[in-house]
Amino acid sequence: MARVRDPAGYDGQREMILSHAAQLFAQRGYAGTSMNEVAAACGVSKATLYHYVLDKHDLAVRIAEEHVLRLEALVNDTLQAHADPEQRLHALIRGFGQEYAQAQNAHRVLTEDVRFLREEDQQRILDVERRVVAAFAQTIAQVRGEPADSALGKPLAMLLFGMINWTFTWLKPGGTLDHDAIGTMVSQLFFGGVRAVSAPDGKKPRKARQA
């Protein structure tokens, strides 16, 4: 009789493998990580590893694609939850900050290692990213009182992503700021300009003394 696979156990093991692989890719880069190292980090044999993934390329595809699909799902949920464009944009910024906090390694793979993937895989992931950017662009245009296809929507969306997409390169865990605080600061800066940013404790920074 064929053995019935335990879906919960299989999925849990698979998620563990993707998590460890993402951490290794983030630390050493895709090119600098071997399947032997992934297996060792997961505490499984190489044969067991290949039971869950085809090869290293398959690992990177799954990490990057599942991450960007989670971001798209977050966008879709936020669009449904917030009819008001300004509330929606605030929620999108906070939501992305929280997601990045939980998936820093996967986000690094998405931003740095997708170039190693086959063209068809890159294109599929890029298509999801474009839909995410388009949702931000349309929301920003609506906040500005402009048509959804406003010429400034996408450039402003890309400027916004420039603020939030690379926090993993400098924001250290356990510091005075976390991703939620950064998300609030980004919202304040994007909506109100540099003078609108408050410290995490709600206090405005002291003004510099006049010379």
Of the pLDDT bands very low, low, confident and very high (cuts 50, 70, 90), residue 181 is confident
What is the pLDDT, as a whole number, of residue 159?
93
CA 102 and chain centroid, separation? 9
User: pLDDT tens, 11-67?
Assistant: 899 999 999 999 999 999 999 999 999 999 999 999 999 999 999 999 999 999 999
Q: Nearest-5° angle of CA 199, CA 200, CA 202? A: 70
What is the pLDDT, as a whole number, of residue 179?
84
What is the pLDDT, as a whole number, of residue 14?
93
3-7, 46-50, 128-132: least confident range: 3-7
What is the pLDDT, as a whole number, of residue 205?
53
Of the pLDDT bands very low, low, confident and very high (cuts 50, 70, 90), residue 196 is confident
Is a pLDDT exceeding 60 seen at residue 68? yes
Burial pattern 93-119, b for ≥16 Cβ within 10 A else e, equals: bbbbbebbbebbbbbbbbebbbebbee
Is a pLDDT exceeding 70 seen at residue 5? no
pTM of the model: 0.85
> Collapsing DSSP states into helix, strand and coil, what is residue 170?
coil
What is the pLDDT, as a whole number, of residue 178?
85
The answer to whether 117 and 56 have CB atoms below 8 angstroms apart is no
Is a pLDDT exceeding 70 seen at residue 206? no
Is a pLDDT exceeding 80 seen at residue 121? yes
What is the pLDDT, as a whole number, of residue 108?
93
